[in-house]
């Protein structure tokens, strides 16, 4: 792999984590010139990987299937998830940026998505989308934008869930954790009733903390390949990890 490609993959990792980045800050962080970063951003925008803005760039979600060897972490993780999905499955996929990336890669895999998110259901409604959308029902929790249900596990059990695809912002080997109680309640219910559970968690979430914990059943962890020792022995599928240290190890 060329050094510029390593650097650009790292830039994508930062964008996925932060949402946006400043050219000057990124140049300082990576020990290269502002012009080098601007050249990277121009090239990456031409590939549809980001959107340039004055003084930096912002993260964008792909709206069409990406190539198999995409440098984007979210697309690489989505590819691992796709290997577990069959057409016609009933999926609970958490309403988040990753699920939108996953949907862009699933044009040839029509499934049924069960969701408590009005926003996610709206995204699934256009005729161009091959998927069926089912609403869980409930009362809108305006703090997190999800429908709150008095018995989420019963609601999902009635609808049937083949697979839960969870993207918690914090994770330990036994627990996922969320900042909002409603999102945690749905994640707990989905993991409880689904026949299989996938956790899609970038490595940064493995050391994060959040208030509302969810006890996990057996699951498959999909993440980057720099796992802490306590995750040894878990079923894990990984994509390569690119760290700032690995970038700074090279002389640009």
From the CA atom positions of the chain, what is the Rg in Å? 19
**pLDDT tens-place string over residues 37-75:** 999 999 888 878 888 998 999 888 877 777 777 888 899
Domains 3-60 and 73-239 share a fold: no
What is the DSSP secondary structure assignment for residue 67, as one 8-state letter? P
**pLDDT tens-place string over residues 177-217:** 999 999 999 999 999 999 999 999 988 888 789 999 999 99
**Whole-number pLDDT of residue 128:** 80
Start-end of H helices in 163-252: 181-193, 244-248
Please name the residue that has the structure tokens 């990792």. Answer: 13
127 vs 231, which has greater pLDDT?
231
Annotated domain spans of the chain: 3-60, 73-239
User: What's the CATH number for 73-239?
Assistant: 3.40.50.1360
Residue 239 has pLDDT above 60, yes or no: yes
Phi/psi for 169 (5° steps) reads -75, -10
DSSP H or E stretch at residue 90: strand 90-93
- Asked if residues 181 and 189 have their Cβ atoms less than 8 Å apart, the reply is no
**pLDDT tens-place string over residues 103-151:** 989 988 999 999 999 999 998 888 888 999 999 999 999 999 999 999 9
pLDDT band at 2 (very low <50, low <70, confident <90, very high): very low
243 vs 26, which has greater pLDDT?
26
Phi/psi for 227 (5° steps) reads -70, 140
**Whole-number pLDDT of residue 247:** 54
- Asked if residues 91 and 114 have their Cβ atoms less than 8 Å apart, the reply is yes
Given CATH 1.10.10.10, say whether it is the number of domain 3-60.
yes
Residue 87 has pLDDT above 70, yes or no: yes
- Both tokens assigned to 129: 């989308």
């Amino acid at each position: 792999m060329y050094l510029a490609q390593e650097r650009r993959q790292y830039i994508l990792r930062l964008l996925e984590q932060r949402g946006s980045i400043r050219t000057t800050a990124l140049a300082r962080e990576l020990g290269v010139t502002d012009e080098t970063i601007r050249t990277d951003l121009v090239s990456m925008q031409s590939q549809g990987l980001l959107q340039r803005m004055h003084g930096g760039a912002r993260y964008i979600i792909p709206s069409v299937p990406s190539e198999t060897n995409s440098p984007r972490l979210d697309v690489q993780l989505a590819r691992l998830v796709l290997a577990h999905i069959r057409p016609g499955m009933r999926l609970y996929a958490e309403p988040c940026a990753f699920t939108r990336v996953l949907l862009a890669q699933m044009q040839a895999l029509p499934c049924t998505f069960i969701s408590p998110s009005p926003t996610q259901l709206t995204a699934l409604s256009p005729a161009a989308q091959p998927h069926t959308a089912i609403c869980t029902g409930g009362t809108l929790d305006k703090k997190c934008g999800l429908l709150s249900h008095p018995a989420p596990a019963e609601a999902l059990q009635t609808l049937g869930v083949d697979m839960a695809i969870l993207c918690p912002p914090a994770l330990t080997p036994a627990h996922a954790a969320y900042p909002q109680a409603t999102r945690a309640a749905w994640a707990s219910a989905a993991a409880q009733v689904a026949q299989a559970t996938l956790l899609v968690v970038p490595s940064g979430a493995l050391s994060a903390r959040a208030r509302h914990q969810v006890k996990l059943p057996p699951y498959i962890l999909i993440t980057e390949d720099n796992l802490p020792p306590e995750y040894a022995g878990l079923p894990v599928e990984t994509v390569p990890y690119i760290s700032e240290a690995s970038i700074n190890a090279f002389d640009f």
